A and B are shown apart, each in its own frame.
Chain A
Amino acid sequence: DVKVTQSSRYLVKRTGEKVFLECVQDMDHENMFWYRQDPGLGLRLIYFSYDVKMKEKGDIPEGYSVSREKKERFSLILESASTNQTSMYLCASSLDNTEAFFGQGTRLTVV
């Protein structure tokens, strides 16, 4: 079974902190994604990566950056966390244009 693992299930950070959300997949997928999920807004794409060191901005990249140094790992970085970044963050991976497999999600609260 494909497994996508996010490093934390719940996270509480203070405003202004630098936050790292880590995601690892074990199926050699080229594509990896970071989404945030907010009620009524669905899943909004933050960043997409189609290969090591390659990234594309999604619909809401402001305030975020990403890193993909190894194929299996895709990190989301909040340079200076703000309260409006309180959300559920979902990592996913996929092979070509097949279905995406999702991690369990990280619920981030910024206080």
Chain B
Amino acid sequence: AQKVTQAQTEISVVEKEDVTLDCVYETRDTTYYLFWYKQPPSGELVFLIRRNSFDEQNEISGRYSWNFQKSTSSFNFTITASQVVDSAVYFCALSEISGDMRFGAGTRLTVKP
């Protein structure tokens, strides 16, 4: 089965700092899908992005950007100019062609004012 590793358990930054959340994955499939989700203190999981294994283009959405590198099996997430509202637990996930989705352990980001 696939595996997702988020080595950073907790990160604390001061507002306006940039922060990168790391995600490393393992899979034997050549076709797979990578995801990031945000879980704010309220508890609901919020979908942020989905990439397929054939699309290594980096993506930017406002202050968020994602760097997908198949060579290192990584799908890292950067928040530029962090804000207090970015404080949450962030999860990386991988879905193989069968459809089952597995998550990493999550990184708790705290942004201090």
Contacts and interface: CB of A to CB of B under 8 A. Distances in A.
Interface of A: 30-31, 33, 35, 40-45, 48, 50, 56, 58-59, 90, 92, 94, 96-102, 104-105
B40 to A, nearest CB: 13
13 contacts: A30-B99, A35-B103, A45-B102, A45-B103, A58-B102, A59-B1, A90-B45, A97-B33, A99-B35, A100-B47, A100-B93, A100-B101, A104-B43
A99 B98 contact: no
Contact of B100 (A42, A56, A105): A56
Interface string B50-65: 1010000000000000
Contacts of A40: 9, 105
Contacts of A58: 100, 102
Q: What size tier do the contact residues of chain B reach?
A: 20 to 34
Given A43-B91, A102-B45, A94 B99 contact: yes
A92 B104 CA distance: 16
Contacts of B91: 42-43
Given A35-B103, A105-B43, 12 more contacts: A33-B100, A40-B9, A40-B105, A42-B103, A45-B102, A48-B99, A50-B100, A92-B101, A94-B101, A96-B99, A99-B47, A100-B93
Given A33-B101, A42-B91, A50-B98, A99 B50 contact: yes
